[in-house]
Amino acid sequence: MGSLKIENVKKAFGPVEVLKGIDLQVTDGEFVVFVGPSGCGKSTLLRVIAGLEDSTSGRVLIDGADVSVTPPAKRGIAMVFQTYALYPHLTVKNNMALGLKQAGTPAAEIERRIKVASVMLSLEPYLERRPAELSGGQRQRVAIGRAVVREPKLFLFDEPLSNLDAALRVNTRLEIAQLHRRLKATMIYVTHDQVEAMTLADKIVVLNAGRIEQIGSPMELYNSPANEFVAGFIGSPK
């Protein structure tokens, strides 16, 4: 299970309102992509869903339960960041194990999950290395592996490919798509890249200045954009 409902979520930083009333429903197993220009509120919305940021008003429900006061670690969510956010002093294996150890997962179960994730993400040869000994693409696969071993209901990706070069970006994108097919997990993925959005999404949410302009499948947005903003954004890949 991993459904998500967002009800009239607003977020202000001081006097500046960056989310101006977001309503959204995500069904279990869906791949939803948030697109929109830099500064429109994509990361803030992800952080509110993850509980890393409190909303000013509105509700977030996961599998029907209001999680507005549930701490991040208890929401069943794993987040993957643009900057990987790995621990430099820990091996790949221990980077993946850390969260599970803290949650009290038995050692044998941690081993099993790391084995499965490292096969899935082709990380087996690197388990004893440290992040500095890996390429950018490998580091991002470790960050994804660390999310996978937690077996979350909901994966949140915040521009996970933007620090990679063009070839790696394509590879890693395909790996994320494959991961979604295998795990059948709910994934929410932020990007400002139209190609990523069009190829990965079941459903695209177009954000602009803290509001949703349109929600639809890639073909719906492409064929019937609600307004010029959506048409410009989806129709003109950079």
Nearer residue to ligand ADP within complex by CB, 49 or 221: 49
CA distance readout (Å), 21 to 6, 9, 45, 149, 211:
9, 5, 11, 33, 7
Query: What's the CA gap between 172 and 142, in Å, rounded?
Result: 12
Beta carbon of residue 143, minimum distance to Mg ion (angstroms, whole number):
16
DSSP 133: G
Contact residue for ligand ADP among 15, 38, 102, 167 (CB under 6 A):
38
Contact between 15 and ligand ADP by CB under 6 A: the answer reads: no
Contact residue for Mg ion among 4, 43, 49, 173 (CB under 5 A):
43
Q: Token digits for 30?
A: 């869906």
Beta carbon of residue 42, minimum distance to Mg ion (angstroms, whole number):
5
Nearer residue to ligand ADP within complex by CB, 45 or 187: 45
Contact residue for ligand ADP among 2, 4, 35, 42 (CB under 6 A):
42
Contact between 43 and ligand ADP by CB under 6 A: the answer reads: yes
> Is the sign of the CA dihedral 128, 129, 131, 134 positive or negative?
negative
Instruction: Specify the residue for token string 């621990």.
Output: 87
Contact between 44 and Mg ion by CB under 5 A: the answer reads: no
Q: Alpha helix locations (H) across 81-135?
A: 92-102, 107-120
Contact between 83 and ligand ADP by CB under 6 A: the answer reads: no
Question: Which residues in this chain contact ligand ADP in the complex, by CB under 6 A?
Answer: 13, 18, 36, 38-44
